[in-house]
Chain A
Amino acid sequence: MDWGALQTILGGVNKHSTSIGKIWLTVLFIFRIMILVVAAERVWGDEQDDFICNTLQPGCKNVCYDHFFPISHIRLWALQLIFVSTPALLVAMHVAYRRHEKKRQFRKGDQKCEYKDIEEIRAQRFRIEGTLWWTYTSSIFFRLIFEAVFMYAFYFMYDGFRMPRLMKCSAWPCPNTVDCFVSRPTEKTVFTIFMIAVSSICIMLNVAELCYLLVKFFLKRSRKAGNPKHHPNHETKEETKQNEMNELISDSCQNTVTGFSS
């Protein structure tokens, strides 16, 4: 159980997201999770061992380290990545719930149910409209909130995004104001700035995706309002594209659920 498991769960979403969603997922996997695992973890690997204070007083180093690093950068990033990835599961759960309802209708022998068998229900693509549209939009909204909260927490806890070389510590039991030296401050600053930059890109992608969904939604509504005689079976090119997009998005939910349960 590690980042690979999260990748498997989210992989199903990737196949059927919007284009912006696919870009977001790629950025998340390659520029955040992979960088964290193959590079950043090594840089912070020896952080407490190589945190040196100019004192022989036992306990002073521990206390100063705890004072300046209440939670390590690397753990904060790991939590950020987990929280930012999970809203996609909301959509998967909603689709699974809809599918469950259809199966129940089918089993009851409801005449309204147009499916021939359970397999057809499993293969069914749900349109993203009504409550499912709200779930999808909420998941993007939550992603944005989590990104912003973690970026703020970072900025607040570490007084900016720079890692200083030297910190002055006078917490007890240090006998006086003691100089403490952080290991690899420049490398850590570089990685911190990189991770913050990629978080900002992800925030912009999420905002773009949200705007795109909202614009499409309002356009569709205004078209429906402006065209009341519109025949339900006659679709314009744009609506066909929208429907395909919606079907693709709902397929992603199906695959997420399948991937998650396998």
Chain B
Amino acid sequence: MSWGFLRDLLSGVNKYSTGIGRIWIAIVFIFRLLVYVVAAENVWKYEHDEFECNTKQPGCENVCFDRFFPVSQIRLWALQLILVSTPSLLVAFHVAYRENREKRHNQKLYRSPGEIDGGLLCTYLVSLVLKTGFEIVFLFLFYKLYNGFKVPRLVKCDMRPCPNAVDCYISKPTEKMIFLCFLVATSGVCIVLNVSELSYLICKYSIKCYLKMFSKKQQ
């Protein structure tokens, strides 16, 4: 069980997505998942070992690290990737349900089980709203937990058992900040794509509905 599972899941959903949805999947694969696995993970690999405080007091480093990093940035990043990708499962489940229904009744109930219309449209819109929601929640969490997206070189810690306000040094702060900026930028792009896809689908189907009603009235 690893990131390959998420990749397979998203590849499966690719078939039922709109054009914008496929661009979103490509961005998540390449600029978020791949960058996370091949580069970002290694930057945070030894973050605890390399976190150094100017004191010999045992336990002070542990306590200070825990105070400044309640959840490591890299773990938040991983959770964000997982939660942002899973709403697509709703669409896959709905399509599977439609296909099962057709099999059970042994007749063609839908023009195409994967076509986005009717109930599947609602499910698709809900998944888009959830994806956008998760992205915003995680960006807000990052901002709140770490006071912005900057990673300072030095933090001052005065928690027990540290004897006084002790200087603690974070390892590779510049590199971590570069990757966090990259994360924020790609999240932003994904939010824009989700919102555009949402608007596009709502406009398209509203116009379709309106035209149907208009032609019925004419008849």
Chain A residues proximal to chain B, CB less than 8 Å: 1-3, 5-6, 48-49, 57-59, 61-63, 65-66, 69-72, 74-75, 78-79, 82, 86, 89, 93, 96-97, 100, 173, 260-262
B7 interfacial by beta-carbon distance below 8 Å: yes
Contact A70 B33 (CB under 8 A): no
Which listed residue, B7, B52, B153, touches A5 by the CB 8 Å rule?
A: B7
B90 interfacial by beta-carbon distance below 8 Å: no
Show 15 A/B contacts (Cβ-Cβ < 8 Å), sorted by A.
A1-B2, A1-B6, A1-B34, A48-B171, A57-B54, A58-B54, A59-B169, A66-B153, A66-B172, A69-B172, A86-B30, A89-B26, A89-B30, A93-B26, A261-B14
Q: A58-B52, A261-B11, A261-B14 are in contact. Are A75 and B171 (CB under 8 A)?
A: no
Q: In the complex, which of the residues B7, B15, B43, B172 has the most CB atoms of chain A within 10 Å of its own CB atom? A: B172
Per-position contact with A for B39-59: 1 when CB-CB < 8 Å, else 0?
100110010001011110000
Determine the chain B residues whose CB is within 8 A of the CB of A89 once the complex forms.
26, 30
Which listed residue, B14, B22, B34, B167, touches A59 by the CB 8 Å rule?
A: B167
Contact B29 A93 (CB under 8 A): no
Nearest CB on A from B56, distance (A): 9
B202 interfacial by beta-carbon distance below 8 Å: no
Which listed residue, A3, A59, A72, touches B38 by the CB 8 Å rule?
A: A3
Determine the chain A residues whose CB is within 8 A of the CB of B22 once the complex forms.
93, 96
Q: A71-B175, A261-B14 are in contact. Are A63 and B7 (CB under 8 A)?
A: no
What separation, in Å, do the CA atoms of A89 and B170 have in the docked complex? 38
Determine the chain A residues whose CB is within 8 A of the CB of B11 once the complex forms.
260-262
Determine the chain A residues whose CB is within 8 A of the CB of B37 once the complex forms.
1-2
B173 interfacial by beta-carbon distance below 8 Å: yes
What separation, in Å, do the CA atoms of A34 and B179 have in the docked complex? 23
Contact B178 A71 (CB under 8 A): yes
Contact A48 B46 (CB under 8 A): yes
Q: In the complex, which of the residues A1, A75, A260, A261 has the most CB atoms of chain B within 10 Å of its own CB atom? A: A1
